[in-house]
Structure 1
């Protein structure tokens, strides 16, 4: 069937009525029940009557819970940075920031656990193949446990290499390694939560990830307050206390996610796990994960290079960079709420071969993302320096943040479109192109810009961030070209 042959009026509600493999009682967007005739079936209906209003409602019922969950994801790092920023030494904030970026390298490096699970489950769910959905989850959980254990075993080597590459003063490195040595024990918990989130998103369940994230952040805030400053009878552990708070928070998040899985997906446990290592399905998972890993490594190369360049500029630029990075993350995670909706809805549509519906969903979500990017760009143009004062009272750090105002503000609309294009291609399982596009952006846009602006012209902190803006321009140009070609509609696997 060629793209566009699918009748646009055939929504998932009708598909579920005819396909008994999709169980009743599985929570969908906004917690509604995805079964024929139930109120929640309207969430994934692509009927043409009232199309504009209905499509917006469909997107928002997934995007809003995802947005809330995504915006709160960086709160762990934000709370750590803000509370550590109240300690007397500026080096403490740089230490936590450096260690946090190292964890970003590790966790984003295995972000394929979440993205790959969503990409495959979304299409299997759209096709009505419940058995393939649950087997994908089992495979991803096994891989998460294996990778988490490897991180714990290799923690000393990872810390030594990571902090050596990141640079920084001896005090920054000493306290950063203490933080890392504690928080690394949460790795298996975090990676299993990645797999659960990927499964929930693939089945158009936006509330599961929200529950996990809320639990994680509530526990982290309380534990940070207690363990950093010694409140409520706890010892005052400072930087190490922030690390222990992260471990406790990760455990709480996984516990809540497991409870959601058992309660809302209990019918899935009736499926046989026979064929868990079937060659064709393992091949899909392997290829998807390897290509997503390559894409992520290229992105992390650029991000870690940014940190390394800034680390060598001194403690004040490093502290300013830590705060700006957290502010930047709020936008990326906020727009990711719509990107995750794109992954689920586009993947579901392609799973049932509704190519016209996938195109309409993608275009509408891009429209929402552009508006959000303009909003955040305006906020940062007006208030980036005041936001910096919330994090730290050190005026020299705030001044460095203010110098980046326009470099951060002007690129936000472009960033928002890039994040949603990522989501569209993940839902379509067009991950091979995502890898190639990211590699081109990192090595043909970011690296030349960094060499010229930072090392050639001595642009300092501003030059480093302008080079990172060049990376985002490269990503937009390559992804937009693919989207306009519609070749991404031909890469489905379900």
Structure 2
């Protein structure tokens, strides 16, 4: 595979995935134009709660993409169907469970994060509306994962962009026209998540016609067949542990930031949303690497697998430098998009230089992640994330005297650890692939 072919996958996927954090970015930016910093903090807390819930099951998209890519390369039509239905059953069931236990989730989350009463009030409003979209949000992970794994890039792009354009329009209308405040932001995101699921199912009818050709009950029975289901859950177990480590890091980051007051919490919320935009930019290239690695495994093509590693390295580093320079030059125009309060903008700028370093230290970990998931060898991802999280905890403790600057340094060390510790497993991944290809 050459650079042109890789970019033909990566660029549309990047454009698609970059719209994902726009749900949180738009929510933060819209309430940032209101008069009270507690609104920004409330939406930030609410977003953290949903990130916690959904990231725990983010493996549904990642593993679905890997299994679908392998099924696509092997031309196993029946497995195409199962790669979608198995995680879809899990996603909808978990989403319904979240709705049923919403009150305990909200109570314990607010208690853990320890923000002010004003921030908690805004967070509760946002959460109590958006929670009803949980089954649809998790189902969307599966739909997107399957479309990406099967290389239906155009469909992925249309689905993501239409969802986020709808969310942007509704957010602006609900806050600045209808004056619904934080409740309007939550309602806008809820409607966008439901729309995405419905539109995604319509796309599946077009691109996954074989699903509708099978008797539904028979297909569902196959979807919950213990042996293949256990293989999927084994992969997902390791991704689940990886996600728990991520959540520990981000939740501690938010909780520690809240200890420094509402203004610092608001500044961190703005910077962390910019960080998400950067991270999801890399995610588009990781998805491309996942597709290539999954195809290589399905075809037992060692040359293609080596190319996935080489392209991931080259483009990961190139994108890192470009994003760092872009943020360094353009940051003064970015902050006013999130808040019109000058003291919040100035406080945000005082911590921004740490974020310039983020793409440099995190790039390889974020892009190589796609190679490992495409090959469904995710235990290495799990191990590297555990090591990075331990490094973060140690740094967080040691750097407490530096206040919020210490918090950002600890986060950068965590991001660097994700890259370094995962790269250490690349030789072992290559040997395992060679063994599989030779079998």
Please report the TM-score for the alignment, with normalisation by the length of structure 2.
0.95
* Corresponding residue number in structure 1 for 2:254: 307
**1:85 and 1:391 in contact (8 A); partners too:** yes
CA RMSD of aligned residues (A): 1.7
**Counterpart among 60, 65, 78 of residue 113 in structure 1:** 60
d(CA) in 2 for partners of 1:473, 1:335: 15
* Corresponding residue number in structure 1 for 2:358: 411
d(CA) in 1 for partners of 2:387, 2:102: 31
d(CA) in 1 for partners of 2:359, 2:16: 20
d(CA) in 1 for partners of 2:431, 2:127: 43
* Corresponding residue number in structure 2 for 1:447: 393
Map Cα deviations across residues 300-338 of structure 1 (whole Å, 9 max, x no partner): 111111111101100111000010011111111111111
Distance change in 2, residues 1:337/1:324 (3 Å): same
Deviation (angstroms), 1:83: 1.1
**Counterpart among 262, 267, 276 of residue 329 in structure 1:** 276
Deviation (angstroms), 1:360: 0.9
Give the number of the structure whose alpha-carbon radius of gyration is greater: 1
* Corresponding residue number in structure 2 for 1:21: none
d(CA) in 2 for partners of 1:363, 1:320: 37
**1:430 and 1:491 in contact (8 A); partners too:** no
Deviation (angstroms), 1:268: 4.4
Mapped pair 1:318 → 2:262:
no
d(CA) in 2 for partners of 1:492, 1:294: 25
**1:121 and 1:202 in contact (8 A); partners too:** yes
- After superposing the two structures, state which structure 1 stretch, 206-215 or 247-256, moved more: 206-215
Distance change in 2, residues 1:376/1:277 (3 Å): same
d(CA) in 2 for partners of 1:268, 1:242: 35
Superposition pairs of residues 470-481 of structure 1, within 5 angstroms:
470-481=413-424
Superposition pairs of residues 33-72 of structure 1, within 5 angstroms:
46=1, 55-72=2-19
Q: Which runs of 4+ in 1 moved over 4 A?
A: 490-494
* Corresponding residue number in structure 2 for 1:466: 409
d(CA) in 1 for partners of 2:93, 2:398: 41
d(CA) in 1 for partners of 2:242, 2:18: 23
- After superposing the two structures, state which structure 1 stretch, 390-399 or 169-178, moved more: 390-399
d(CA) in 1 for partners of 2:320, 2:76: 36
* Corresponding residue number in structure 1 for 2:193: 250
**1:186 and 1:251 in contact (8 A); partners too:** yes
d(CA) in 1 for partners of 2:201, 2:180: 30
* Corresponding residue number in structure 2 for 1:87: 34
Mapped pair 1:177 → 2:124:
yes
Number of residues paired by the alignment?
Answer: 433
Deviation (angstroms), 1:386: 3.3
Which structure dedicates a bigger proportion of its chain to helix? Answer: 2
- After superposing the two structures, state which structure 1 stretch, 145-154 or 132-141, moved more: 132-141
**Counterpart among 346, 349, 358 of residue 402 in structure 1:** 349
**Counterpart among 97, 102, 119 of residue 155 in structure 1:** 102
d(CA) in 2 for partners of 1:490, 1:478: 22
Map Cα deviations across residues 205-236 of structure 1 (whole Å, 9 max, x no partner): 2222212211211211121122223x3xxx42
**2:271 and 2:352 in contact (8 A); partners too:** no
Superposition pairs of residues 14-413 of structure 1, within 5 angstroms:
46=1, 55-229=2-176, 231=177, 235-271=178-214, 273=219, 275-413=222-360
d(CA) in 2 for partners of 1:146, 1:117: 16
Q: Which secondary structure state, in structure 2, belongs to the residue aligned with residue 204 of structure 1? A: coil
Distance change in 2, residues 1:397/1:249 (3 Å): same
Deviation (angstroms), 1:492: 6.5
d(CA) in 1 for partners of 2:162, 2:96: 23
Deviation (angstroms), 1:488: 5.3
d(CA) in 2 for partners of 1:193, 1:137: 11
**2:339 and 2:345 in contact (8 A); partners too:** yes
Deviation (angstroms), 1:186: 0.6
**2:69 and 2:291 in contact (8 A); partners too:** yes
Deviation (angstroms), 1:257: 1.1
Deviation (angstroms), 1:194: 0.5
